[in-house]
Amino acid sequence: MMPPHPDPLARARLLTSPSVGPAVVRELERITGRPAVPAYTTPGGPFVYVGDMLPEALRAAPGLLWFHSVNAGTDALLAAGPWPEEALLTRTVGRMGERIAQYTLAWVLAECQSVPEHTAQHSRSEWRRLPSELAAGRTAVIHGTGHIGSAVAGLLRACSVRTVGVGRTPRAVPAGFDRVVMAGSDEETVALADARWVVSTLPLTSATERFFGTARFSAMRGAGFVNVGRGATVDMAALEAALHSGSVRRAVLDVLPDEPAGPGDRAWRLPRTVVTSHSAGITADEDVVADFESCWEAVAEGRTPPLAVDTRRGY
């Protein structure tokens, strides 16, 4: 996707969503050198919008040059309708890779040290020695080899965990991975059978919806499953069956197909499962500011920012 021309950008108005706090707005004004106006303002010319969702009236406005999302995921934005032709879409990533990597490692180590079992024993005032194991030498299969997947792989690899990435297009082995196999290949099936943990960092696209279904869960041999990508990439009925059969030993789900999950959601009642309410990679204000500033500098120089979203692919 090509960035907007620097000339219209120089005279574009800056619009911000009500979800953007005052401290961030002040930083956006500093970066762009112009005052911010509320989202309900009629643009009347070229404009840049910063927020969580793009109102329909602004989506249809002819002057939209660029939308910067304060979130990392853009599937909801793209699902709301055709993306305006020629409008740039960028997203906020910040230190999300680091946060999600630490989240994943925390649950891996918690399982190795029997933390859930110790916690349950404590609630019963029960003294009983429980086994522990080393993470070193085990295998983690990580679906998604981009920024987030590489960060997860790098931190697990620092603990001497073997890291196998699963990608959908051929590429050189990214940092953090010992090797990469193709999705849908025999190599992926073998890797899933060898995995101690399977981690999903997948975005939600037409190609990844219900990506984890009966076939992939059946290929596992007692792996722990951690989903830090998108909830709808998982067939929840297939996951439930895999937990009951034992092909999935336990699950940690930071994301679900329907959020927020109400009290009646079946996810709360899955055996050996923890749901953490989409909190693994929360975007901080400083992330929004830093990523918008880097995008602004790139666009002002006529370059496509690294954080630009390919709206055809969905990420």
What is the enclosing helix (H) or strand (E) of 274? strand 273-275
Query: How far apart, in whole angstroms, are the C-alpha atoms of residue 307 and residue 315?
Result: 9
Beta-carbon count within 10 A of 185 CB = 11
Give catalytic status of residue 230 as yes or no.
yes
Active-site residue identified among 13, 138, 216, 230? 230
Strands 179-182 and 273-275: unpaired
Count CB atoms within 10 A of the CB of residue 39. 20
Contact 141, 195 (CB under 8 A): yes
Furthest CA-CA distance within the chain: 71
Residue 47 dihedral angles phi and psi, to the nearest 5°: -150, 155
Q: Round to whole Å and give the CA distance between 188 and 258.
A: 28
Q: Which of 133, 259, 286, 297 is catalytic?
A: 259
132: tokens are 């522990």
Catalytic site includes residue 278: yes
Which H or E run contains 251? strand 248-253
For the CA atoms of 60, 64, 65, 66, the dihedral, rounded to the nearest 10 degrees, stands at -80
Q: Please state the φ and ψ torsions of residue 49, each to the nearest 5 degrees.
A: -120, 135
Residues assigned a catalytic role: 230, 259, 278
